[in-house]
Each structure stands twice: as structure tokens, then as C-alpha cells.
Amino acid sequence: MKKTTFYPIIIEECNDEDGHYYVATSPNIKGMVTDGETFEETAHNAEDAIETVIDGDQKIPKPEDPSNWELSDSQHVVYIPVDLTNYLKKHSKMVRKSITVPEYLADWAKENKINVSRVASDALRGLQEKE
């Protein structure tokens, strides 16, 4: 199951001694800054930049409502889809779940030193990936 969140960012068109380009920042994602030669390239780069910043954090920031952001005429709010699936896989904590299996299978697993929790987790991951 893919977990996507949309983060608002600000893309600003710049014309200065460095030429014509676009810069993306977000008050919502502290430290996220990227740029590009076109508006579309900057939006694409912003997705990667957000994922990189979030991957370093232990908590996923909640998307903010940008309606109170003060923007200049050269700035535009754009919503960027960010796939959080890999983050969640990497940072999810383990939780204890009790499962019931037939006694003969429990005995067989114990005799063969099979980790039933790992087998159940692997099976669930396989089912999830099929969705």
C-alpha cells in the first residue's frame, strides 16, 4: 500500500546575476531548499528534497495550511506528492501481536527454530505489496 502525502511548498521565480531560475522552499519542511531551470523541474526536485529531509527526521511533519503564508508576486504555492512508504518501512516501530496457530505447527516451528513473527511479517508484507 502506497502512502502519499501532499506538502505545500513555495516556488519562486528568480532573475538575477545567476540568470533565470526557480527556487523551492517550504515553511512546513524546515531545511528544504531546491531549485531548477524550469517551474516543472523545480517541483520535481522538491519531491526528492522533501523525501531527503524527512528521511533524516524521526517524525513526519503534518502538512500545513498555506493560506496564511505571505507570498510575493513571484511566489506560488504548489502541492507536492511525497511517497512516505519507504520512510514508514524504515522508521516503523515493532508492535506485539498475538496470533493463534495449530499446536502441531507451533511445535514444528519451535523444533525447526523458525521465527513465527518473522514469517507472519514477511507474509503480510507480501500481501501488502500485491495491493
Extract the C-alpha cell encoding 77.
504555492
pLDDT at res. 91: 66
Percent of the chain with pLDDT strictly greater than 90: 56
Task: Tell whether 23 and 48 lie within a shared domain.
Answer: yes
Is the overall model pTM greater than 0.85, yes or no?
Answer: no
The domain that contains 70 carries what CATH number?
Answer: 3.30.160.250
Task: Tell whether 87 and 113 lie within a shared domain.
Answer: no
**Domains in the chain: how many in total?**
2
- Residues whose CB is less than 8 angstroms from the CB of residue 79 and which lie 6 or more positions away in sequence, other chains included: 6, 7, 8, 9
- In tens, the pLDDT along 26-78 reads 998 988 999 999 999 999 999 999 988 887 666 788 999 999 999 999 999 99
Task: Tell whether 99 and 64 lie within a shared domain.
Answer: no
Task: Tell whether 75 and 49 lie within a shared domain.
Answer: yes
Long-range contacts of 106-114 (CB under 8 A, 24+ apart): none
pLDDT at res. 7: 95
pLDDT at res. 30: 87
With CA atoms as reference, report the closest residue to 9 among 41, 47, 40.
47
pLDDT at res. 58: 61
Task: Tell whether 79 and 114 lie within a shared domain.
Answer: no
Distance CA 9, CA 42 (A): 11
Task: Tell whether 21 and 10 lie within a shared domain.
Answer: yes
Task: Tell whether 29 and 47 lie within a shared domain.
Answer: yes
Percent of the chain with pLDDT strictly greater than 70: 95
pLDDT at res. 3: 81
Task: Tell whether 38 and 59 lie within a shared domain.
Answer: yes
Range of the domain at 25: 4-91
Task: Tell whether 21 and 67 lie within a shared domain.
Answer: yes
Task: Tell whether 87 and 104 lie within a shared domain.
Answer: no
pLDDT at res. 49: 92
- In tens, the pLDDT along 64-116 reads 999 999 999 999 999 999 888 777 777 677 788 888 999 999 999 999 999 99
Task: Tell whether 26 and 79 lie within a shared domain.
Answer: yes
